[in-house]
Amino acid sequence: MNERVELLDKALILAGVQPQVAQQLRDLQVKTSLDSTNSALRRLPLEEQHATVVLAEHQSAGRGRLGRQWHSPFASNLYLSLGWRFEQPLSELGCLPLVVALATADALQRAGLDGHRVKWPNDILLDGRKLCGCLVEMQGDAQGPYQVVLGVGVNVNMPHEEAAGVIDQPWTDLQSRLPGLSRNSLAAMLVDELFGHIQSFAGQGFAPFKERWKQMDALIGKTISTQDGHDQIEGIALGVDDDGALLLDIGDKVLKLHSGEVSLNKTKI
């Protein structure tokens, strides 16, 4: 292993978190290896999940969206989950994945990155390649409260040879743009931004984030495709509405996508 590898360190992360966030943190756990930080958080008693952060150096069963696996080699990247209890009904939480993506994007900006973009609903791209993914898992009654686990994976220094055979989409990491970035510092910034963004969202909904999404949107004005059953739908992305739905101009009408996945149609950009 590289001698200069910096392991995650609870004390260093806590020292980097803003005091008002540190005060609200219930617990911050750093584990050597877990199946998945989202699963580990979910196994805690319900009353211990809110405002608890779980990080791991390695995940043996890291989960991505839509049943995918999240490649999680040891001491290379960030795998972080935060538990949160929302009093709102489910119908008001649809934008949460977008808010988590913006929190992650803003933490990366604080770390010195620029040029990264958010791709609906909650990927972060750098140079058109996937840099981070977010997995928001919710449980509760439709009318609320909702116990939510917000999971974020950031590719910091992915071992290339190993990843090449495992990750099935264009990806990148922070190594070439922010060499030597401390994962502990980045973890602290991510905790700060997640707390800040989620508290604004819980109080004010998506409205304060709409303009920021527009600035960071990787898709707006571009031709994109999505799968609808057996059919492929193509259209121009118009941005998101107040509920976080993606607006897709398909010529004769504008569709609202509430979930799913879209891909950029490179030949038409």
Which spans of this chain sit near ligand BTN (rule: CB under 6 A)?
Answer: 36-38, 59, 62-65, 68, 70, 79-81, 123, 133-135, 151-153
CB of 29 to ligand BTN, least distance (A): 13
Q: Which is nearer to ligand BTN, 38 or 52 (CB)?
A: 38
Q: Which is nearer to ligand BTN, 65 or 116 (CB)?
A: 65
CB of 166 to ligand BTN, least distance (A): 13
Q: Which is nearer to ligand BTN, 21 or 78 (CB)?
A: 78
Residue with smallest beta-carbon separation from ligand BTN: 133
Q: Which is nearer to ligand BTN, 82 or 245 (CB)?
A: 82
CB of 65 to ligand BTN, least distance (A): 4
CB of 35 to ligand BTN, least distance (A): 8
Contacts with 74 (C-beta within 8 Å, 6 or more apart), sequence order: 33, 57, 58
Structure tokens at 254: 């504008």
Q: Which is nearer to ligand BTN, 37 or 205 (CB)?
A: 37
CB of 260 to ligand BTN, least distance (A): 13
